[in-house]
A = this chain, B = another copy of it.
Amino acid sequence: MIEVIDLAQKFNLFHEQWQPKIVGELNESYVKLVKVQGEFVWHKHEAEDELFLVIKGVLVIRLRERDLTVHAGQFVIIPRGVEHQPVAAEEVQVLLLEPKSTLNTGDAVGERTVEAGWI
Contact = CB atoms under 8 A, between A and B. Distances in A.
A2 B78 contact: yes
For the residues of A in contact with B, the DSSP-based class is strand
Nearest to A3: B76
A73 interface: yes
A4 B68 contact: yes
Interface in A2-51: 2-8, 24-27, 29, 31, 48-51
A2 B77 contact: yes
Given A31-B75, A75-B31, A97-B97, A26 B51 contact: yes
A49 B6 CA distance: 19
A57 interface: no
